[in-house]
Amino acid sequence: VALYKSVPTRLLSRAWGRLNQVELPTWLRKPVYSLYIWTFGVNMKEAAVEDLHHYRNLSEFFRRKLKPQARPVCCLHSVISPSDGKILNFGQVKNCEVEQVKGVTYSLESFLGPRICTEELHFSQAPSGNSFQQQLVTKEGNELFHCVIYLAPGDYHCFHSPTDWRVSHRRHFPGSLMSVNPGVARWIKELFCHNERVVLRGDWKHGFFSLTAVGATNVGSIRIYFDQDLHTNSPSYSKGSYNDFSFISNNNKEGISMRKGEHLGEFNLGSTIVLIFEAPKDFKFHLKAGQKIRFGEALGSL
């Protein structure tokens, strides 16, 4: 593990990103993309543009858009999958820890970071002995839930809003860019806390809601469409550092309103999305660990 952590994954990821942006000659595009499609099982019939010659470089191909009706959004359930991928874990958050894969956990507070100024009022009202987990829950009788979705290299790389909610704050942790493949996640405890990630926090009708995009090797680029100030995988960073940005201002006191299914952001290649949210105790997931899921399908409901 120590040897793997010493690999310069950020440098390699930036180099890979530069390579991905090199324009390919038209004659080379089809064989290169066809090899990728065959290797990772990409379904190009769902792509808005099926012609491989249309994509000037690998980066454009990774970020390909889907046909409008390829992913119908489920209207019957309150929370949908924000992306294509594989369900690694889900359930209630217990003892201030979240499972990244079965049996391997990470600290909730380390992952999300300390409280933010807009939460001060709520935290000041909570009893001093309350845990970080309990302090995130704003309504009596509610619990904290989580869901981890792994995006493989062949998956659709955009992600969307999983519910109707308001984004009030963004926290960016520069960090390592180790692989988040489930096999690696099994032997590196708190992998998600080591890696670069972008935490979007806000609220929905039941209280606290957060979506975190976790970077990985060759996925230094995390883009949030409404956040032009976000820049990921910078050449240098301080270990354990983070920077905050508030979407609440004098002119915009509501933050950023997102509708269920609305475009939210994108990765290059593949990565992981972690949802952590508050809901009534009778919230039920409609999932099985290890199952494949597509954007728009139900995650759970009341």
Q: Give the residue numbers marked as catalytic.
A: 84, 160, 271
Cα angle value 60/270/57 (rounded, 5°) = 20
* Pairing status of strand 142-150 against strand 85-92: antiparallel
- Those residues with Cβ within 8 angstroms of residue 236's Cβ, 6 or more apart along the chain or in another chain: none
Separation in Å, CA 240 to CA 29, 108, 120, 292? 40, 15, 22, 33
Cα gap 83→153, rounded to integer Å: 13
Cα gap 128→206, rounded to integer Å: 23
Separation in Å, CA 9 to CA 72, 174, 189, 278? 36, 13, 18, 34
